A and B are shown apart, each in its own frame.
Chain A
Amino acid sequence: MTCSNDKMVAGASLNETEFFKKQTRVALRNCGVIDPCNINEYIARDGYAALGKVLTEMSSEDVIQTLLDSGLRGRGGAGFPTGLKWKFAAANADDQKYVCCNADEGDPGAFMDRSVLEGDPHVVLEAMAIAGYAIGATQGYIYVRAEYPVAVERLQLAIKQAREYGLLGKNIFESGFDFDIDLRLGAGAFVCGEETALMTSIEGKRGEPHPRPPFPAKSGLFKKPTILNNVETWANIPQIILNGADWFAGMGTEKSKGTKVFALGGKIKNTGLVEIPMGTPLREVVEEIGGGIPGGKKFKAAQTGGPSGGCIPAQHFDVAIDYDNLIAIGSMMGSGGLIVMDEDNCMVDIAKFFLEFTVDESCGKCTPCRVGTRRLLEMLDKITKGQGTMQDLEEMKELCLYIKANSLCGLGQTAPNPVLSTLNYFYDEYVAHVKDKRCPAGVCKDLLSFTIDKDKCIGCGLCARNCPVNCISQTDYVAPGHKLASYVIDSSKCIKCGACMANCKVGAISKK
């Protein structure tokens, strides 16, 4: 029922924005639409109908075939075909199998999974139960970050409601199928997003990865056949069951079907969560959906794949986003962080930022990752301080390839990507740091110098009063048209804190 006394007000609705119009919402279809704390609202939007259909009409082979036909690939990063993973696990006979959900979203700057868990928790439960039926498992675990208290609370409530309705538990839809789910809270270790490490952590141990094979589909959690999928992957599955494999395969590109959710952030007007069909050009995401870069600045790079991915430079701005295209240009899909950078971001600094992250999060089990990433970071640090040599650049590249080839798990194998991709696309910027001892973006503090334009300076003295090391003093030069003498910075004492520049009211101070 609509209120009749009001005419439509143009532009008053999110529906009318470019941001929204260009999106296709599958995984996010209920986010921001239903009350996540009310199971009935989920059911009203066809919730649990896919589970009902699977349990009453389909064999486990049918379910797996549907997923294979849909072309769904894992949304956690590597893009392994989901149906194939299930098929392997279904083929391994055992008295106990497990279904796990990876909700240990650790990429800095990515929050797709959190949004699904907080906005539509039941979709994950329903999909996991479908997987349980397909592979013959009766127990599921959701491994979720403890740093997501709201998500944890809503998942707990959702599990309780589903149990009360008999949608989890014994003999669901009187089909003889039993399935239950428990939560396990992560404890802040990025490596636990890697599948073998995650399972070791659920077992209550240090979350260290171990070599594959054996793959989890054969010997996973508690040494039993296990499948692990990420939150966004799960969120697609009930829709695929209800609408059919062809519907899903009708979206996207030849080898990447369906949609992908991205957390759009950084130097962009519309920060937010967007779901787009695979194959959408990066330019469209940044300029049309994202509304472009604020302040009239120039696009420099988009970073995808977090610490495992790379920077996509302006020359590849028109790339159609899918798994294979991103790999081909030295980045990767990853879980869906998409950070836009402009001319004020230094690419050497960004590479260093990600390496600091990996060094911190490397579990230490294998040497290439533990020692290699630390050596890489030291070299990057030298370069940002203006102490790097051209030989360092060569050695860095060699070390990157060595770490990629020899690390035990995905964390180490992908850790050098941010360095390799910036070396590849922004080599000039590295050279500027090494040869000219200059940071073109004006970020690396040790290479900066602050200067006062003596003709713009009005002599107010704010800079000198705010300088923590008293290195700014007044000269006896009075610029034409001004009453007071200008100030000057003693660069030998300057600690490059930038306080003078931040306090100057007339913009007379610049950094180079």
Chain B
Amino acid sequence: MSLKSTVPFKGTKEQEQQLKAIIEAEKNNKGCLIPIMQKAQNIYGYLPIEVQKIIAEGLSISLQEVYGVSTFYSFFSLYPKGEYQISVCLGTACYVKGSGDVFEKLQQVLGIKDGECTADGKFSISACRCIGACGLAPVMTINGDVYGRLTPNEVEGILAKY
């Protein structure tokens, strides 16, 4: 079902060099760990354990410390995301207008749960908290495209576009 840990790490030498340059440039700044991890996730798309090891070594801190941070914040993903990342807003304004039903329908149609990715790597879904488009509630986004005033019936038609 889900890709999760079954995907092997495919980092390149260039990516590693890029990351090491960032660590070098930032390592003397106070509180630099989180900014470095954010940049690392921009490079790799996620933060597999291999990348966390490079960061820990570069900053001369333990891997536990890096892992402790990466698992604390929902922004960091330990698993790769789908080619198309779907976020459904479950902020209060969207929720009272029925975004919970839209989210359920998506999970049903794609056969995956919150935070997972389809087996072909095409779609991943996640719930998010208020993207600030409350006038369009309920809202979901697919790689930055915004779909507003949704009903569960529209879900399949929208997915078919991708």
Selected contact of A185 from candidates B38, B69, B93, B128, CB within 8 Å? B38
Complex alpha-carbon distance, A189 and B68, angstroms: 13
Complex alpha-carbon distance, A267 and B138, angstroms: 12
List chain A residues, Cβ under 8 A from B101.
Answer: 498
Tell me which of B2-10, B17-25, B27-35, B116-124 binds A: B27-35
Complex alpha-carbon distance, A339 and B130, angstroms: 13
Q: Is B96 an interface residue (CB 8 A)?
A: yes
Q: Does A147 contact B131, Cβ atoms closer than 8 Å? A: yes
Q: Is B135 an interface residue (CB 8 A)?
A: yes
Selected contact of B31 from candidates A107, A110, A184, A339, CB within 8 Å? A184
Q: Does A206 contact B72, Cβ atoms closer than 8 Å? A: yes
Chain B's closest residue to A342 (CB) is B96
For the complex, count residues of B whose C-beta is within 8 A of A: 36
Q: Is A77 an interface residue (CB 8 A)?
A: no
Contact with B along A210-223 (1 / 0, CB 8 A): 00000000000010
List chain A residues, Cβ under 8 A from B33.
Answer: 204-205
Q: Does B92 contact A203, Cβ atoms closer than 8 Å? A: no
Distance between A124 CB and nearest chain B CB, rounded to angstroms: 17
Distance between A269 CB and nearest chain B CB, rounded to angstroms: 11
Distance between A36 CB and nearest chain B CB, rounded to angstroms: 15
Distance between A270 CB and nearest chain B CB, rounded to angstroms: 9
Asked if A337 meets B74 with Cβ closer than 8 Å, knowing A204-B31, A206-B68, the reply is no
Chain B's closest residue to A360 (CB) is B74
Distance between B130 CB and nearest chain A CB, rounded to angstroms: 5
Extra inter-chain contacts (8) besides given A201-B34, A207-B73, CB under 8 Å: A109-B93, A111-B134, A147-B128, A187-B37, A205-B68, A266-B92, A271-B93, A353-B95
Query: B residues bordering A, Cβ < 8 Å?
Result: 30-35, 37-38, 68-69, 72-76, 90-97, 100-101, 128-132, 134-135, 137, 151-153
- CB pairs A–B below 8 angstroms (29 shown): A107-B92, A108-B90, A108-B129, A108-B130, A109-B94, A109-B95, A115-B132, A148-B132, A185-B34, A187-B34, A187-B38, A187-B74, A189-B72, A189-B74, A204-B31, A204-B34, A205-B69, A206-B68, A206-B72, A207-B73, A208-B72, A222-B31, A266-B93, A267-B96, A271-B134, A306-B92, A339-B96, A357-B129, A502-B151
